Structure 1
Amino acid sequence: MSEWKQKRFWKAVSVAETENGFAVELDGRRVKTPAKAVLAVPSRPMAEAIAVEWDAQTESVNPNMMPVTRSANAAIDKVTHQHAAVADMLADYGDSDLLCYRAEMPTELVLRQSEIWDPALDWAADALGVRLEPRSGVLHTPQDPAALDHLRGLVHEMTPFQLAAFHDLVAMSGSLILGFAATKGWREASEIWDISRLDELWQEQQWGQDEEAQATADLKRRAFLHAKRFYDFS
């Protein structure tokens, strides 16, 4: 990761169209990933967002201020070479989707889960052609294998850049369905994030807010919203 330790040496940042998409150049030299591949991305808006991040660096490069660059690096250096494995890992969320495991009590929480989570499952039935079925309790009950195979196929169709974003949307929400809902614009990403946190928000209402837990949730929320933005760029 020596790339991240270098001092700023460039004066101008630009975007150049290439045979593989769009690259970012520093004084005419193309930016490379940590694995030394050319950082070529699929859209000009993504490349321009990366260029803004590089142009914002001052004395030294700070990766914490470069989320689009880091996501693009992950797509190129990691997901491209492990596409099938990453897709399978994310598709597996469908068989234990957050939206399908419901509380048995108290009644108010049961009703709230139904009110807020059922519309997402209904949306998936219409938009994705698959209906996952909710269960009461935490014991695993398999979903219809044909439904899971259909969802798996949709995940495998994603490009490495889409899959890099989808990874965070699914892993942070705990829901394959909400991941798809975010990518397809079912609702605003911030609302989808809140839907994924229904249980945590319920606990906060009952027992109060924990500052440390809230700080962690805020970080995850920003990462979730970034993943949606990155997916839209791709």
Structure 2
Amino acid sequence: MFTDEVKNVLLKNRLIVVGEIHGAKENIFFIKKILSFYNKNDIPITLAMEWPSELTEEINRYIFKKGKLNWLSWKFSESPDGRISKEHLDLIKWLRAKNIKLVCFSVGGLSWNERDKKMAENILAEYNQNKEVKILVCAGRLHSRSKDFDFGKEKYTPLGYYLPKNETIFFELDYLSGNYFNVGLKKIRSKKINVKKDISIIKNKNNIFKVIIKKATPVHILSDKYLPKK
């Protein structure tokens, strides 16, 4: 799946940032592909997810076989935005089988800019713990940008802005068709890009790798409160 160029940047950089649209199964598929690449090459890797930071301890106790995973008690399990789903619980089980640590870096109760700065600080705290470990960061696409951007009359500084430029590579997931679940089932606006593979990776002029996914498939959220009534 990975070209030599992609393999080289994965080996060179310590922080690998993946920007997703929450709520598509293909996000998890791509995450696992990157983790598997490092795992097969015996390179220590940690996964960092845009989940509430207070879940880190419980999840890792489960991953490293020191405790149970009581996800039914999580307020986060009721989230309808696609960040947590049945497929993500399967991902945690997969991490357990591979002995891969998971760090949750999201925080609440802050403005957009304050939150992104704090999330970056949480990621960097893990980054500074062990220089031998690479970190795969998965977050929403706006948070995963590397530069400031304007939206309306406001200026936003994403978490990606705070990460060390010389050790960070960015992947942006782009979907050509299909559906995803984010506070309801939503349809991707079809884009006409000629690609032969289900997933293709192309580097753009800003040295960001665009991951072109032919079709998005919605995840199954854990709470049925937001599903269409029959």
- The TM tier, using the shorter chain, reads under 0.3
Task: Provide the TM-score with structure 1 as the length reference.
Answer: 0.25
| Structure with a larger share of its residues in helix | 1
